[in-house]
Amino acid sequence: MFTKLLIANRGEIACRIINTARAMGVRTVALYSDADANARHVAMADESFHIGGSAPADSYLKGDLIIDIAKKSGAEAIHPGYGFLSENADFARSCEQNGIAFVGPGSDAIDSMGSKSAAKIIMGAANVPLVPGYHGDDQTDETLLTEAENVGYPMLIKAAYGGGGKGMRIVESQAEVQDAINSARREAASSFGNDKLLMERYLRQPRHVEVQVFADTFGNTIYLSDRDCSIQRRHQKVVEEAPAPGLSDALRQQMGEAAVAAAKAIDYVGAGTVEFLLDTDDSFYFMEMNTRLQVEHPVTEMVTGQDLVKWQLMVASGSELPLKQDEVSVHGHSFEVRIYAEDPRNEFLPAAGKLNFLREPDQNRHVRIDSGIRENDVISNFYDPMISKLIVWDESRSRALQRLTHALSSYQISGLKHNIEFLANIAEHKAFAEADFCTDFIERYSSSLIGDVTNDFDNAIALAGLYQVLARQEAAKVNATNSDDPYSPWGQVSGFRLNSASIHHVSLLTEHANTHAGNNNSASDSDESALQNLVITDLGDALHLGLNGQALKLAGSIQDDVLLAEINGHKSKVPVSHEGDDFTLFLPSGSYHFKAVLDQEAEDTSDSADKLNAPMNGTVVTHLVEVGDTVTEGQGLLVMEAMKMEYTIEAPFDGVVSEFYFQSGELVTDGAQLLNVEALNVEAADKED
């Protein structure tokens, strides 16, 4: 076994590998970019080396420098994790040439599967079922347009050297093909450095089922359970589970044996995943093979009781697999969800920023959290915005699902947008509970998964008002204690009025309009944010609030980060995070974010021109129109890229493009105006007609 291991990655997977290496007595070497100087994986490793600038091309993708650091540190092996250089055959080959063990398959195997089109040819020869399509080397527009007609519609265009949904487009008709090719090429080149594309028939309602395979250098190849990864958005996995629900024993064996045949066809060594599309008639088709450890590997670990990173290190150091195929057992059921810094209500745009408050569920044999993030860490726009992976296990699928919903309800984050409520809505959805899903599950049920306002909004407003009054009272007590006259009435916020009840005015800016707010809400229901003006009366016995026809009696106190609240006799403990004027309440139904503002202060969020601003930090890819062009509402104007995803900025109204403020390749910050569009003079146009 190695004595020292270099981890050529960052974040959650680097921490995950360090944990296993430490348990095996292997010392670890971490790498860090400028953005990761204070990252968790750096603190966990035995030693670490600065690798370069924040952008991956300036740091984690510098293969030659990584090998130099491995030699300098005395590391005998390099674990690439996933992403970055994990499926880079040239990097694996450089490790081999420099006498450093690459914890993964050989470079030839990576080459074989690196091209999705070449992989299809190899799999066809090995009698692994394939979806009809075009995987050829001729990449001219003319050939691709012709082959698109042969494949038929709907059709999937995707990067031949890609993954994670990047460089992938669904095409419904011939009219869409050219634009899809152009866009997929750009994203493929940006994400993978290769713009080669392939085409295949798009199955309408498939499930995404994959099989974990493992092979050693002694000719042993086995499969360890299967996983269902059908719950996806933009072709990126959101929820994974093992084993895949609803498969017969015979079908599991067929898919497992097909996966082993795929691995043997390329003399595979180490951990790999063979991904299949499973159709409604139980026919399955090879999609791709990932020549690395998968993000979702923990669910396989939970149901098999094995540590796959330990297996990787054993195989890479020359040991045999610890189990034969007939010794593999699967027990119970496991789910994994990916906690992301993103905004589900705004097309899942990544949300870079500081994670001000973090409270994770308690970990035990049923609940596991793989994370590279700590409270007060910054989610950078340079990398994938995943905060953590939440993994649960129990004896059955229904019990594991119950574990998942409970764990999500106690996962608390504030400071940036996240997808916890969205994940909870998936877990609680009737169709998901019944395992009635396919890869378009999120699109099919989006209205119920991403709802605008939850049913607990009124309760959250009342609790927020109570919290503000109590916080003011606590602050007044502190001020009075520290003043020259602790009994001065000017150091109180009792709302005292002569011959009248004490009144507190509380103005709260919320993320979403309350659809039942009535006169309390000064913003329209369609606004993305709304001002709630509350009048809370102190009658001595308690605080009183009228809200949407309800008479609410409020009482409570604040203890540390918890609001001990009582509303009309119902007592509850509500965790709260507070930073400046912003605070978040964590209720069982989800998290609710507020900003305390001065009376009558409001923010105008309805200005449609804001849609011409950058939705996040990123890079301008290309202009779709020219200065002076007349554009119509909804027309694409500019393409920008952030976190390896493309976003199109569309015209918010009919107008004329007067100026671009950024050119292709330039970096932009969140909120920066990208271009200017002057609205058309509708009245003048009418007169001319």
Residue ranges of domains in the chain, CATH in brackets: 4-103 (3.40.50.20), 132-201 (3.30.1490.20), 207-449 (3.30.470.20), 457-597 (3.30.700.40), 608-688 (2.40.50.100)
pLDDT of residue 152: 87
The residue that leads in pLDDT, 170 or 581, is: 170
**Helix axes of 11-23 and 308-316: crossing angle, nearest 10 degrees:** 70
What confidence category does residue 454 fall into, taking pLDDT thresholds of 50, 70 and 90? low
The contacts found for 443-452 with CB under 8 angstroms, 24 or more apart, are 449/344, 449/422, 449/425, 450/344, 450/345, 450/422, 450/425, 451/425, 452/345, 452/512, 452/515
Active site residue 292: yes
Question: What is the dihedral sign for C-alpha 238, 239, 242, 247?
Answer: negative
d(CA 252, CA 277): 13
pLDDT surpasses 50 at 604: no
> Across 258-356, where does the E strand assignment appear?
270-278, 284-290, 333-340, 342-343, 349-350, 353-354
pLDDT of residue 234: 79
Q: Which two tokens stand for residue 546?
A: 């009228």
Flag the least confident range among 240-254, 276-290, 304-318, 393-407: 276-290
Which range of 171-175, 394-398, 662-666, 669-673 scores highest in mean pLDDT? It is 394-398
Question: Under DSSP, is residue 469 helix (H, G, I), strand (E, B) or coil?
Answer: helix
Report the predicted TM-score, pTM, of the whole model to 2 decimal places. 0.74
Give the chain's mean pLDDT. 88
Mean pLDDT, rounded, for 504-515? 71
* DSSP 8-state class, residue 100: -
Question: Under DSSP, is residue 136 helix (H, G, I), strand (E, B) or coil?
Answer: coil
pLDDT of residue 669: 76
pLDDT tens by residue, 38-90: 999 999 999 999 999 999 999 999 999 999 999 999 999 999 999 999 999 99
| Active-site pick, 169, 233, 252, 292 | 292
pLDDT tens by residue, 625-670: 999 999 999 899 999 887 556 788 999 999 999 999 999 888 887 7
pLDDT surpasses 50 at 377: yes
- Amino acid letter for position 640: M
